[in-house]
Structure 1
């Protein structure tokens, strides 16, 4: 073995650096703020459905398009931005997503009817849909290997923060001003601020190596070593892998590569994303409407949903504490089905306010143990050149399900079968998904990214 090949690679050096809040932690915070806006926007669908149903006299099936258009836009954005991130770089994609979201959120607040509103919500969702896959790819590639599971799991802590802020702020705005446009407009200014901050985040050295930009990659790695105070060591830069050019067909190429890499792994990733997040989005989209129908006042329904989201922060903390000790698969196998079962209990007791609130808080806790572990797990199943696309396509599949699922739920299942049975059917999908995971997907705890 030659001396050069015995040296550690540059990406191995990055993954072995000590964790510093002023270095990797800054990227975690900036990436997490984008994730927070994703949560805020998705939660806002549940707030807007009852408000716009009254404002434009919408039937439930028509009101469902408020969430469906937004989530399908996020689905398109998830695979589009994941592919763009793998092609032009994490940083460029990381910066642009929130700008597009801000522009079309503002346009949505000026909509004259449900058709234009749905169009603008789709376009805002397209921009924001890139935040999750791009942010996870970038944060994961800057994070030391021994901390990666905890950090990627902790990323989901931004979700309950955003969802809770949406509920609390919306309850106050609607209760004080009674205007559905204000909950939309209040997001735009901080989103633009985060867009500006994102411009200072460095490009991922792993991406630069794959692109063949060795000098830039070495500069980023050397700066990281110096800023973390780690001992400088000699390292080598591996030969660059092929990175596809940005073209109309590049997303098809990446989709084929994701499935060709390992069809069982990709199938498990898609099934888990679809089923676990379907359960969560059903609750997030329709719970305010369900609670209002059960006799809750508007502001109380929004506050209850905000509480459901806020208690999820405790779930994220528990997930971060357990993920490296227990492993990804065991946590998902337990908390995924348990979250669905808890939601079924909510449906049984929804006419008893105290019981409904208690079980909703339990649901919010359990599901937010499952979701951050799911995100960390799927982001680790793929090598660097497919990480953005692999995660993005799984996210796309889940967003399609989350968009179409609540529409089907409101139009057919809920009226025909009732709340409890409809939620139980979603739970059955979670059981099937975790069984497939147990049989076909590897545990990724403490494994190298490549």
Structure 2
């Protein structure tokens, strides 16, 4: 029903609907599949580094650009697509990201040389970089408030699925066909299928409300009420507002907006994103090469990295069970530094295969408790008009750190300071970020999205 002068607001109606797998759950699955390809692609960087180092006779510094080009593209894509999502809509941005990723992944597989490969990996990353901020904004705004923490945390369950699939499938392809191109092409067809399915997802009603598109918002809200079997209620919608067009200027306005909203909160979001994900991407990007250097066969190194990612699914489940009970801040404060500490232990025992595998599995579990909580937490820190861009800019900052961090790690810290000390320095950044969060960023458990 559609009465503009009554309470509660349309936003409250959406956030108080009952959870239904055929309604909000469907959006969770469609959004999560895009997130799965993000994980697959990032994990693929670690697979490609040893393979292309042999194929094109690359030095470690040159090989580092395999991951850096891809992650810098993701960094650019994260803030641009996040801002697009806040300007022209979640749905349009939601459908375009995978199409761009698929096109440039195919081109990358047929690159004539290493330079063109890096260019195409950059562009594929640009397309895929929009998945995390856009998907989290859309899924979060369709999810009822009571389930939002668990659902947004469970979204990260798609990451270990994608990362593990990448490792296991790549290990099989390399062993069976010894062709690195197949490791890239194998994920394009399912990505295109997910792109096609995404076209059926409706626009976020919270976005439509904020943009003053009241008739469209009312139709979506009424459809959700009917589909979930909720009792129809009267609700109010705000008056229309001016809708800014997307431009380079609007992107920088969004950047100013996330800092003007609350600079301490934004600093906490950026620091947590950069430090925790730097630790994870260091392991994901270089662990196959580290294990091969320690005596593992290629396929065993890929399988071990896949196992590290796969056990992360248990971490996501643990995060989903604990996030509403313990709270976002406490979980991050414990698991963020602990994951870095475990990675230091891995560095000390990497020459002992059994111990290395055990501690990598522990790391995969702990870090995947931290990361989904981080995503849920940051997506809840901003109001609706800044949610996509706030998350997107934090993701951009983390991708820049994750892109250049492994490159600097391979060229300077690892050769000069050793593996354990280099991982410990990354862990120190996590500790500083957690301390800032503790003092300057609020707990968001059970908080209404506005």
How does the TM-score come out when normalised to structure 1? 0.99
Flag structure 1 segments of 5+ consecutive residues without an equivalent.
none
The alpha-carbon distance between structure 1 residues 120 and 425, as it changes in their structure 2 partners (threshold 3 A), is same
Q: Give the match's secondary structure for 1:22.
A: helix
Superposed CA deviations along residues 351-380 of structure 1, whole A, max 9, x for unmatched, are 000000000000000000000000000000
State whether structure 2 residue 200 is matched by structure 1 residue 200. yes
Aligned-partner Cα distance in 1 for 2:250–2:107: 30
Q: Which residue of 1 aligns with 2:75?
A: 75
Displacement of 1:209 in angstroms is 1.1
Q: Which residue of 2 aligns with 1:404?
A: 404
Aligned-partner Cα distance in 1 for 2:244–2:307: 44
Displacement of 1:345 in angstroms is 0.1
Displacement of 1:244 in angstroms is 2.7
Equivalent residues, number: 448
| Residue pair 1:210, 1:243 contacting (<8 A) in 2 also | no
Q: Which residue of 1 aligns with 2:239?
A: 239
Aligned-partner Cα distance in 2 for 1:242–1:174: 54
| Residue pair 1:210, 1:242 contacting (<8 A) in 2 also | no
Aligned-partner Cα distance in 1 for 2:304–2:130: 29
CA RMSD across the alignment = 0.9
| Residue pair 1:83, 1:251 contacting (<8 A) in 2 also | yes
Displacement of 1:5 in angstroms is 5.8
Q: Which residue of 1 aligns with 2:344?
A: 344
Q: Which residue of 2 aligns with 1:181?
A: 181
Displacement of 1:241 in angstroms is 4.9
Q: Give the match's secondary structure for 2:246.
A: coil
Aligned-partner Cα distance in 1 for 2:329–2:387: 19
Displacement of 1:239 in angstroms is 2.9
**Aligned ranges for residues 233-272 of structure 1 at < 5 Å?**
233-272=233-272
Q: Which residue of 2 aligns with 1:36?
A: 36
Q: Which residue of 2 aligns with 1:445?
A: 445
Displacement of 1:240 in angstroms is 4.3
Q: Which residue of 2 aligns with 1:52?
A: 52
Flag structure 2 segments of 5+ consecutive residues without an equivalent.
none
How does the TM-score come out when normalised to structure 2? 0.99
| Residue pair 1:102, 1:124 contacting (<8 A) in 2 also | yes
Displacement of 1:210 in angstroms is 1.4
State whether structure 2 residue 130 is matched by structure 1 residue 116. no
Superposed CA deviations along residues 55-113 of structure 1, whole A, max 9, x for unmatched, are 00000000000000000000000000000000110000000000000000000000011
Aligned-partner Cα distance in 1 for 2:143–2:106: 34
Q: Which residue of 2 aligns with 1:140?
A: 140
Displacement of 1:54 in angstroms is 0.4
The alpha-carbon distance between structure 1 residues 384 and 242, as it changes in their structure 2 partners (threshold 3 A), is farther
Q: Which residue of 2 aligns with 1:159?
A: 159
The alpha-carbon distance between structure 1 residues 279 and 41, as it changes in their structure 2 partners (threshold 3 A), is same
Superposed CA deviations along residues 116-164 of structure 1, whole A, max 9, x for unmatched, are 0000000000000000000000000000000000000000000000000
Once structures 1 and 2 are overlaid, which stretch shifts more, 429-438 or 5-14? 5-14
Q: Which residue of 2 aligns with 1:8?
A: 8
Displacement of 1:4 in angstroms is 6.8
**Aligned ranges for residues 306-345 of structure 1 at < 5 Å?**
306-345=306-345
| Residue pair 2:5, 2:235 contacting (<8 A) in 1 also | no
